[in-house]
Amino acid sequence: MSLIAVVFLFFAHVSAEPMRFDGHKVLQILPHSVEELEHVLQLHDVLDLDMWRYPSKNNFSMEMYVEPEKIDHVLTAIKAIGADVRIWIDDLQKLIDEEKQPAKRSFHLPFASQGKNAGFDHLAYHRFSTIKQYLADVVTATQAMSTVTSSLSTIGYSSESNEIQVLKVSRSDGQSRPSIFIDGGIHAREWISPATVLYFINQLVYGDEFDYAPQLLDKFDWYFAPVLNPDGYEYSHTTYRLWRKNRVPNGRNCFGTDLNRNFGYQWNPSVGGSTNVCSDVYSGATAFSEKESTALETFLLNNNQNMVAYLTYHSYGQMWLYPWGYTSALPSDWQDLDAAAKIGTSALSELYGTQYTVGSSTNVLYSAAGGSDDWAKGGAGVKYSYTIELRDTGAHGFVLPQNQIEPNCRESWRGLAAFALSLNTRKG
């Protein structure tokens, strides 16, 4: 056997199991001044650290993932800067193991296990192939329904030739209604996002415990794209749990573009992005350089004539954010966006008391140009455009255990329904 073959077999064996994160930590860092904040951010760039939660204008606190071999140096450097620091998550692998534990079933589940999709568990995280089958099964199931119809479209293909799919759900009366577009999975590691979008589909098609579905179907046509980044999502399951970007090869043995820095409205890598191809927030060589972002662009521009809302689901932080992300300035109709979001978050909090923060992306979270919600509003003209950051506020971060899927999804469904039913869809 040749040396090349031996090396290939070695790496094939190594990559057969996902990377482990024993002893990997997440730090919570609190700079006391803008100067300290800048020094910490410089440290982040120099050491190529993974920022889990960025600081905002009003709260410099941040959460940062650090590998074991870097931890002593990072802690020493941060203390020398003068910022407060503590270990927020001590062993990331323990959270990943906890994430895999099956969720306990509750009495709320009848609506999540009806009809043709009885075999699909909405309280678990699923691989991409299983999600594709679920979407196809929904279409098959609605063919036998008299009041609901659905259709599945492939709007493009990823760099690894995986389908980017959109499911349309509507009344079966042939009438066209104002539409709402919802996507998930732009960032690969945010598994709760696709799970939430799939839950929405199930509630809308099969009926829900709050009886919102009939009203929502009477008022809107619905478009769902549960996994906009299929390559990255699958890679986060098979190889590297914390993968964020897509998987396009960039040279220098670096892969991936941050799709949520790649949309073309006020695209600017210097605002919350990067021109470094190895960075987790690499913005791409140009706006819409990626197949995934281009697929969404084309679909929205072809279907935005009567589209009233665009919602992209992410994690984490419990925030309901509206444009702009590229600047602290607000859109002229920000009060409309703010009021509708607060209706959603108020309804959401009624179930478990979960608190969401409402505001513009830059003023609540951080500045980042090239986001899909900025483009949906500024580029595609969709008035009510939002990024929604789901549970939690940092205790688990991106590794949300399966036992939180149900409460997260139930409250999110209530929030979405109340938000949508509050919208004034009249023209003029």
Taking the C-alpha atoms of residue 342 and residue 359, their distance in angstroms, rounded to an integer, is 9
- pLDDT averaged over the chain? 92
Q: What angle do CA 264, 295, 281 make, to 5 degrees?
A: 50
389 counts as catalytic: yes
256 near 248, Cβ under 8 Å? yes
Report which DSSP code applies to 328. S
User: Pairing between strand 384-390 and 254-255?
Assistant: unpaired
Q: 371-417: per-residue pLDDT in tens?
A: 999 999 999 999 999 999 999 999 999 999 999 999 999 999 999 99
Q: 23-50: per-residue pLDDT in tens?
A: 999 999 999 999 999 999 999 988 989 9
Percent of the chain with pLDDT over 70: 92
User: What is the gyration radius of the CA atoms in the chain, in angstroms?
Assistant: 21
What confidence tier does 5 reach under pLDDT thresholds 50, 70, 90? Answer: very low
What confidence tier does 54 reach under pLDDT thresholds 50, 70, 90? Answer: confident
Per-residue confidence (pLDDT) for residue 119, from 0 to 100: 77
Per-residue confidence (pLDDT) for residue 366, from 0 to 100: 81
Which of 99, 389, 406, 411 is catalytic? The answer is 389
Per-residue confidence (pLDDT) for residue 123, from 0 to 100: 95
CA proximity to 172, closest of 204, 139, 202, 150: 150
Domains of the chain: 19-99 (3.30.70.340), 109-237+282-422 (3.40.630.10)
Q: 122-155: per-residue pLDDT in tens?
A: 999 999 999 999 999 999 999 999 999 999 999 9
- Does the structure show a pLDDT above 90 at 237? yes
Helix axes 192-206, 405-422, angle to 10 degrees: 60
H-type alpha helices, 104-206: 128-142, 192-206
- Does the structure show a pLDDT above 90 at 15? no
State both tokens at 111: 């609506």
User: Pairing between strand 221-225 and 179-184?
Assistant: parallel
